[in-house]
Structure formats: C-alpha cells, structure tokens
Amino acid sequence: MTALHLHDRMFEVHPLDEHASESRLGRLDARAKLVGVLAFVVASALLTKPELVLASLAVAVTFAASSAIPLRHTLRLYLGALPFILLASLSLFLFVGLDNGVAMWARTSACVLALIVLASGTETFELFSGLRRLRVPAIITTLLMLTHKYIGLLTEELSRMTVARRARGFLGGRNLLDRYALKVISYTAGMVLVRSSERADRAYEGLKSRGFEKEMVGWRTKRIAAQETLFMASMLAASVVLLAVQMELVG
C-alpha cells in the first residue's frame, strides 16, 4: 500500500540534513552507519520469537531516541510505513495468534525505525558516498547523487507551481471522476517532466564543463575512527546476540 497524503509534507525534501550534521550520529562516517544499521536490520528481520523481537524493538527505539532526530519527524515517517505494518500484524493476529501478530508488528517497526534513523541522521550525499566507498557500482551511486540534486531543484519548482495553482483557486479534486482536477494535476506533473527533460542536455554539458568523467565523488571524506568502530561494534554485537538466541545457539 502506498503512503497516502502524508507525502504532501515531503515537499521539503531536506528538512533534516541541517540537524543531521550537527549531531554525534550525524558526524559518523556514513560507511559505519550503513554497516551497523544494515546488519541490525537484516538480523532483526530474521527474528521470530516474540521476546527477541521485542528486544530488538527496544534497541531500535533506544537508537532512535539517542539520535538528534525530532520525534515528530520520526513518527511522520513511521506513519508512512504503518498501513502495511498494520495490515500484516492484524491479519497474523487474527489468523494465527497474538504472538505472531505482535512479533510481526515489533519486527517491522524495529527495522523501519532503524532505517529512519539512518536516513534522517545522515546527510544524503554522504550516505551515497558511503555506499560508493562500500563498493556499490559507480553508475548507481552517481545516478543517486545526480537524482538527489535534481529532486531538490524540481521540488522547488513544484512548490512554486502549487502555490501559484492554489492562488488561482485550485484546491485539489474530490474523486477520480473529477476530470478537471485530474487534468490540472496531469498538467502540473507534465510541466515538471518537460522542464526536467529540457535541463537534461544542459546538465550533461554542465557536468562536462566541470571535467566530469566517470563518477561523482565527494571531496572531504571521513575516516573510520574510534566512534565509528564503537558504533559498528555495538550494532554488530546486538545483532549477533539476537540471532544466536533466535537460532538457539545460545541459552
């Protein structure tokens, strides 16, 4: 199920980047965060025993709380994932039992929370740089970086158009049969895409005029230091412990 009208607020696509770089979490090397959080998420996804799942949720919540990310923002993103989570949890609860329903809810929530902290607690370009340094193919990371830049540009254009639209009295349609509304929305989206395409050739020349050849790379990169190692170690430790218990390797 797609996230619904909550997307409206996402016009500000970079609300957290400023806070991100200030916090302790934000200053960590992106690679460390990626490795730590991904390990935790994968491990958590493999848990089925209710006690373990709740434990992992506790870890995730602690993680979220200790980051500098405002609660409202975290909740807002969590709500976006909630429909699917609820559907799955409720259906398991109804058809299998309470344990399974709770486990499903806790497990998915833990993973989503961890991911939200990673996403919002890291400056996006840094995150993509980190991916590249973790050997994700250059074409993917370069596309990610470029797309990110243009999302910013286009969002601004879109909000300007939306404001202009509202100023002329368009408040959104009522239902799918509202053909006028659909037309206006199509027009807005169309303008965005046309402008997008017009930029494309100039963008290529812009890149080449700055000497671009193969891929986009960051300039100042961080190193793996004590904090990074500590972070990764704790996340990995938690993941390993949880997994070990799940697979009944340990008491």
Partner 1 sequence: MHIPDGLMDPLVAAAGWIEFLVVLGTAIFLSRSKIRERNLPRVAILSAGIFVAQMLNFPIGGGTTGHLIGAALFAVMVGPVLAVIGMTVVLLIQALMFGDGGVSALGLNALNMAIVAPLVGWGVYTLTDPIVNGQRRIGRGISVALAAWASVFVAAGACAGELLVSYAISGGDYGIAANVSVPAMLGYHAVIGIGEAAITVGLVSYLFIISPELFSAGEPGTAFKGPAKWFTSNTARATAVILIVFALMIPLYIIYASEGRDGLEQTMEEAGTGEGSPLLSAPFSYGETYLQVLLAGIVGFLVVCLAALTILRLLKSPTRRNDPG
Partner 2 sequence: MRCLEIHDVGFSYKDGTIALKGVSLGLEDGEKVAIIGPNGAGKSTLLHLVAGFRMPFSGEVIISGRRLDSDNADTLRRDLGLLFQDPDDQIFMPTVEEDVAFGPRNLKLDDIDGRVARGLRSTGIEELAKRKPHRLSYGMKKRVALAGTMAMDPRVLLLDEPTSGLDPRARKDLIKLLRSMDRGMLIATHDIEAAAEIVDRAIVLDVEIVMEGTMRDLVMAREALEKVGLEVPPISKFFGVLDAMGYQVENLPVSMDQAVAELTKVIEREGKHMHAHIHEHDHAKEADHAHEHSRGHKGQSEAD
Q: Which of 217, 195, 42 is nearest to 144 (CA)?
A: 217
Residue pointed to by tokens 């799942």: 53
Q: What token pair was written down for 12?
A: 């500000």
The count of chain residues that interact with partner 2, using the rule CB under 8 A, is: 28
Applying CB under 8 A, among 79, 187, 230, 250 the residue interacting with partner 1 is 187
Smallest separation (angstroms) from partner 1 to the CB of 251: 21
The only residue of 54, 61, 185, 245 in contact with partner 1, by rule CB under 8 A: 185
x/- track of binding to partner 1 for residues 190-229 (CB under 8 A): x-xxx-xxxxx--xx-xxx---xx----------------
- The site partner of 218 among partner 1, partner 2, none (C-beta below 5 to 8 Å per kind) is partner 2
Residues numbered 119-138 forming contacts with partner 2, rule: CB under 8 A: 123-125
> Alpha-carbon distance 193 to 115, whole Å?
30
> 123 is in the binding site of which of partner 2, partner 1, none (Cβ under 5 to 8 A by kind)?
partner 2
Q: From partner 1, partner 2, none, which one binds at residue 211 (CB under 5 to 8 Å depending on kind)?
A: partner 2
Residues that contact partner 1, how many (by CB under 8 A): 96
Contacts of 102-108 with C-beta under 8 Å, sequence gap 24+, read 102/50, 102/53, 102/54, 103/47, 103/48, 103/49, 103/50, 103/53, 106/50, 106/53, 106/54, 106/56, 106/57, 107/44, 107/45, 107/47, 107/48, 107/53, 107/56, 107/57, 108/81, 108/84
| Binding of residue 88 to partner 1 (CB under 8 A) | yes
CB of 126 within 8 A of CB of 211? no
220-249 footprint of partner 2 as x/- string (CB under 8 A): x-----------------------------
Site for partner 1 contains 32 (CB under 8 A): no
DSSP state, residue 26: T
Using alpha carbons, select from 109, 7, 16 the residue that is nearest to residue 70: 16
Which structure tokens are listed for 53? 């799942």
Among 27, 61, 93, 240, binds partner 1 (CB under 8 A): 93
Q: Which residues bind partner 2 (CB under 8 A)?
A: 14, 17, 123-125, 145-146, 149, 152-153, 156, 199, 202-203, 205-213, 216-220
